[in-house]
Amino acid sequence: MQSQNINYLPGLDHLRGFAALLIVCYHGVHLIGYPLRYGEPFAPARLLENWPQTANPIGALIFEGHTAVALFLVLSGFIFTYGSLHKTIIYHRFIINRLLRTYPLFVLLLLTGAFAFPDRFDFTALVQTLLGFGNAQGAMDLGSFSAMFWAIAVEWQFYLVFPLLLIIFRRDGPLLLLGLIAVFILLRSLAWLEGANIRDLAYWTIIGRMDQFLLGMLAAYAYSHGVLSAVRRGVSWLLLLTALGLAIGMLYGFHQAGGWPVSAGWKILWPTLEGLCWAGVILTYLRASQYLPARLSYWLTLPGLISYSLYLLHFSVISVLVKQQWFSTFGLPPTSAALLNTLLWLPLI
């Protein structure tokens, strides 16, 4: 959905569309690829031993396509800050606006899952999920219908504090946000030293993800102050390729170190590094995309305009494909076949 309240930047919708398609491909490659590879249903408990490996950096981007969540969160921090940096936010209006934009589809899926699996319904869990804590223990578990609720919960936890963060940001400047990032790194470090699962803390919770929102806010500050505004066409594309190369290179290193299933101390810093890479991609893409032909730019915005729906609905569709075995090998290796099946079914999502 395109905001009418700020100077519209089509490049943001391009990136939202890319993130949505990447997360669809990521889940398709894993959920469909697993039975093709091992001849059995997807088994989360065995991911550490069965996580696919590749020496291809683009393949690593797809296998670690969960990074699309980080891109979404950095974009959220950017969009809210870019649209509000020089405006007064009225807290209750901001919250109501976010409710109207995000809750209709969210509640529809919640009701569908509750009626589809009545034995899983619990009133306390329902209230917890509705109040923005769907990523905490005790939230509603409605199978594929609630699979993406954890990310919506993280988004909402940011929404609740964003107006306060913006007030402090305006007063104290970017150094304060850098200080907050350091605080969250320290909190993750303390939790890890206490024996917490750092993978889960860094991935599923606001303690891990706040860095990415804050980096999005800093990127919006830089953009609104004209960073890269004097860069010409050729240099802008060179900078974008460099930023993309760094992001993919970081993900490749992440993948070679064991990827998502691994819980290791270095993941204390991973959300920050991941967010920093995507902030660089956002800034360079916004500059370079200004040189795209208008018609091409328009077509690239379309997936972004439905990115929220894609994000919430795709897991259920892919889950049905797997359960009903509506996929084929096409005579291809498992990963290629899974990706092709996902792309062929994409219009249904």
Q: In sequence order, what DSSP letters do the residues of 22-70 get, joined into one string? A: HHHHHHHHHHHHHHHHHSS---GGGHHHH----S-HHHHHHHTTTHHHH
Within a domain: 1: no
- The whole domain housing 106 covers 10-348
* pLDDT of residue 2 exceeding 70: no
Q: How far is CA 269 from CA 40, 138, 178, 181, 186, in A?
A: 35, 28, 14, 10, 10
What confidence tens digit (pLDDT) does each residue in 254-264 have?
999 999 999 99
Residue 349 has pLDDT above 90, yes or no: no
DSSP state of 347: G
Confidence check: pLDDT of 3 > 50 = no
Q: For residue 202, how many other CB atoms are within 10 A of its CB?
A: 25
Structure tokens at 239: 């900078």
Contact between residue 264 and residue 198 where contact means Cβ atoms under 8 Å apart: yes
- 248 occurs within a structural domain: yes
CA-based nearest residue to 69, from 212, 181, 218, 187: 212
- Domain membership of residue 74 (yes or no) is yes
Share of the chain above pLDDT 70, in %: 98
Token code pair at residue 200: 């889960």
Domain assignment present for residue 2? The answer is: no
Residue 1 has pLDDT above 50, yes or no: no
Judge whether residue 70 has pLDDT over 60.
Answer: yes
* Tens-digit pLDDT profile for residues 217-249: 999 999 999 999 889 999 999 999 999 999 999
Q: How many domains does the chain have?
A: 1
pLDDT per residue as tens digits for the range 338-348: 999 999 998 87
Chain position carrying tokens 């921090």: 77
Buried b (16+ CB within 10 A) or exposed e, 226-260: eebeeeeeeebbebbeebbeebbebbbebbeebbb
pLDDT, residue 6, reads 59
Establish if 3 belongs to a structural domain: no
In a domain, 24, yes or no: yes
Residue 347, token pair as written in the block: 């219009």
pLDDT averaged over every residue in the chain: 94
Whether residue 115 lies inside any domain: the answer is yes
Percent of the chain with pLDDT over 90: 91
Rounded average pLDDT over 273-300: 97
For residue range 160-178, list pLDDT tens digits in order.
Answer: 999 999 999 999 999 999 9
Backbone φ/ψ region at 39: left (φ over 0), alpha (ψ -120 to 50), beta: left
Residue 5 lies in a domain: no
Tokens found for residue 40: 């059995």
Segment holding 306, helix H or strand E: none
